[in-house]
Amino acid sequence: MAYENIQVEKKDGVGIVTLHRPQALNALCAALVDEVGQAMRTFDADPEVGCIILTGSEKAFAAGADIKEMKDKSYQDVADEDFITDDWEVITTIRKPVIAAVSGYALGGGCEFAMMCDFIIAADTAKFGQPEIKLGTIPGAGGTQRLTRAVGKSLAMYLCLTGDMIDAETALRAGLVAKVVPADSLQEEAMKAAKTIAGLSQPVVRTCKESVNRAFETTLAEGMRFERRLFHSTFALDDRTEGMSAFAEKRKPNWKNR
């Protein structure tokens, strides 16, 4: 499949989607968002892929939704087309783990895109922000919601109300990112994590992701019940028997993905 705004690659069981609109710092135009959705769905359906990385360039993961593309839209336009809806949310429907590898700017929709992934590995050059307020609008793809859940009210309010950016270390302290690495080893570190995940039992990985995600949708009591039932369900898998047997026999597990 030929893409114009992204590059895709498959390596060692990992699908890599690289945002590639260098002339616009990977601003998320509709065509790019559509292509990301297609590529993600393709990797999700590919049995050779066990984990997906979403990344950008050294200078920018993505500098936000494409301002030039939306600047002339009226209220009627955005309301009629329900602008920023399902196509943007495709990442959150992917069943395989998706890692955001962020270098440089992750602003507005770029920060929101990264937050839709399962976790973020940031280069020490990464900058996160929700600058929509400076454009006379507000975040529209999770900047007031996922960000608040990730970093808490105070920092989320600060970012959304001032439009200021935070650096990678601040994002790490706030819990927005899982890990900060030197910029020149970002892709290597993301690959390392992705290969680890791709090398595990895929049904167990899928179950684990589903259980963590439920924490954002439900009460603690319901979430605990859900987790326990999924935990029980892993005992129906050959891979659960294999994993525990391999530990007891001091050998590497041989996953069958069933």
Just list the catalytic residues: 65, 109, 112, 132
The residue from 16, 25, 147, 150 that contacts ligand HXC (CB under 6 A) is: 25
First-to-final CA distance of the chain: 30
Q: Which is nearer to ligand HXC, 43 or 88 (CB)?
A: 88
Q: How far is the CB of 95 from ligand HXC (least distance, A)?
A: 23
Q: HSE of 121 in the Cβ direction (CA atoms, 13 Å)?
A: 21
How far apart are alpha carbons 26 and 65 in whole angstroms?
9
- Candidates 44-52, 62-70, 146-154, 192-200 — which segment interacts with ligand HXC by CB under 6 A? 62-70
Distance in Å, CB of 224 to ligand HXC, minimum = 33
Q: Does 68 bind ligand HXC (CB under 6 A)?
A: yes
Structure tokens at 177: 């990112």
Residue that is written with structure tokens 């996160």 in the block? 128
AA identity, residue 223: G
Q: Which of 6, 17, 19, 27 binds ligand HXC (CB under 6 A)?
A: 27
- Structure-block tokens of residue 22: 């260098």
Residue number closest to ligand HXC, CB atom: 108
**Residue span binding ligand HXC (CB under 6 A) among the ranges 63-71, 172-180, 209-217, 245-253:** 63-71
Residue 116, Ramachandran bin (φ over 0: left; ψ between -120 and 50: alpha; else beta): alpha
Q: Which is nearer to ligand HXC, 46 or 167 (CB)?
A: 167
Smallest distance, Å, CB 10 to ligand HXC? 28
Alpha helices in 12-95 (DSSP H): 30-45, 67-70, 75-81, 90-93
- The correct pick among 30, 67, 178, 246 for binding ligand HXC (CB under 6 A) is 67
Among 37, 64, 243, 253, binds ligand HXC (CB under 6 A): 64
Structure tokens at 201: 């039992």
Minimum CB separation of residue 125 from ligand HXC in Å reads 13
Q: How far is CA 50 from CA 13, 45, 102, 114, 119, in A?
A: 6, 10, 20, 19, 15
Give the separation between CA 126 and CA 108, rounded to whole angstroms. Answer: 14
How far apart, in whole angstroms, are the C-alpha atoms of residue 175 and residue 152?
9
Which 90-149 residues touch ligand HXC, going by CB under 6 A?
A: 105, 107-109, 112, 131-132, 135, 139-141
Using CA atoms, how far apart are residues 179 and 119, in angstroms rounded to an integer?
A: 9
Number of residues that bind ligand HXC (CB under 6 A): 21
Amino acid identity of residue 44, one-letter, is D
Based on CB atoms, which residue is closest to ligand HXC, 27 or 155? 27
Stretch near ligand HXC under the rule CB under 6 A, chosen from 61-69, 146-154, 173-181, 234-242: 61-69
How far is 138 from 140, CA to CA, in rounded Å? 6
Binding site for ligand HXC (CB under 6 A): 24-25, 27, 63-68, 84, 105, 107-109, 112, 131-132, 135, 139-141
